[in-house]
């Protein structure tokens, strides 16, 4: 039912594009390119754009993977071992509101302006949603499940793997989805501040050269990239969380 083709949505996008083009024709200025010019710029620069978004996706991917590998086990640990969690959480709470972009200078100082700096910033920003959701998900798990774990005489590691992880999975996945979106976003921003390539750099350069159509084309590529990544994550989520969605669906019907 949800998969229904969204005609009004598509029609609205087309109308917006037409209005945009109309205004651009009326204004008739190189500083106000129309939709068509943007598409032209997109195809004119298509190889460059593909290569640049490739760099960006690569950095976002590595940074995200790093965050996932480090923070997921750490989060589950902090959620499970209450005393440790209590000790570390205030620090997390304090560091979290720091705008990730503010980490760019720090990264620059430690890692220079190379790939490592950007990957560090991405990993840093992607860490928080994963970490916090993992802690909360494990803590919020139904106490009954903990009792079951004890009744089955599972070891601590076994409890974490067999009980905590699946029970906490829906919320953890929500965190991961957020982290994926943030990774791409931060990769772009980091590139805008310190980079020699990547889509963020492309945007910054378009501005310097007053190539507005190219800048918009770059934005379009980012938006499409984000959309594609988001759908990919959703598809994976549906597979992993089939039992969860089935249960929610049942409740919705009842």
Among 170, 192, 195, 237, binds another protein (CB under 8 A): 192
Binding part of the chain for another protein, among 10-18, 64-72, 131-139, 148-156 by CB under 8 A, reads: 10-18
Least separation, in Å, of the C-beta of 61 and another protein? 16
Tell me how far apart the alpha carbons of residues 190 and 113 are, in angstroms, rounded to a whole number: 10
Cβ pair 68, 176 in contact under 8 A: yes
How is residue 230 written in tokens?
Answer: 């988001």
Would you give the binding string for another protein spanning residues 149-188, x where CB under 8 A is met? Answer: --------------------------------x--xxx-x
230 binds another protein (CB under 8 A): yes
201 binds another protein (CB under 8 A): no
| Ranges within 24-43 binding another protein (CB under 8 A) | 31
CA–CA distances in Å: residue 7 to residues 3, 4, 13, 217, 220 = 12, 9, 10, 24, 21
In the complex, which residues of this chain contact another protein (CB under 8 A)?
6, 8-13, 16, 31, 86-91, 93-102, 104-106, 108-110, 181, 184-186, 188-189, 192-193, 200, 203-204, 206-207, 210, 212, 215-216, 218-219, 222-227, 230
């Amino acid at each position: 039912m949800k998969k229904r083709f969204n005609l009004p949505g598509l029609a609205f996008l087309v109308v917006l594009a037409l209005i945009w083009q109309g205004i651009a024709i009326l204004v008739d200025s190189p500083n106000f390119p129309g939709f068509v010019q943007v598409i032209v710029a997109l195809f004119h620069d298509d190889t460059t754009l593909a290569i640049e978004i490739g760099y960006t996706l690569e950095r976002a991917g590595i940074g995200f993977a790093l965050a996932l590998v480090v923070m997921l086990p750490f989060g589950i640990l902090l959620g499970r071992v209450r005393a440790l969690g209590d000790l570390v959480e205030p620090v997390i709470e304090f560091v979290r509101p720091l705008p990730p972009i503010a980490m760019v200078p720090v990264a620059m100082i430690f890692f220079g302006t190379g790939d490592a700096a950007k990957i560090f910033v991405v990993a840093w920003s992607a860490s928080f949603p994963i970490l916090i959701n993992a802690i909360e998900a494990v803590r919020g798990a139904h106490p009954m499940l903990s009792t079951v774990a004890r009744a089955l005489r599972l070891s601590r590691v076994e409890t974490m793997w067999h009980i905590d992880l699946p029970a906490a999975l829906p919320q953890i996945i929500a965190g991961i989805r957020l982290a994926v979106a943030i990774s791409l976003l931060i990769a772009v921003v980091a590139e805008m501040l310190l980079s020699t390539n990547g889509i963020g750099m492309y945007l910054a350069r378009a501005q310097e050269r007053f190539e507005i159509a190219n800048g918009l084309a770059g934005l379009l590529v980012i938006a499409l990239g984000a959309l594609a990544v988001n759908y990919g994550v959703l598809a994976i989520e549906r597979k992993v969380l089939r039992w969860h969605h089935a249960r929610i669906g049942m409740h919705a019907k009842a």
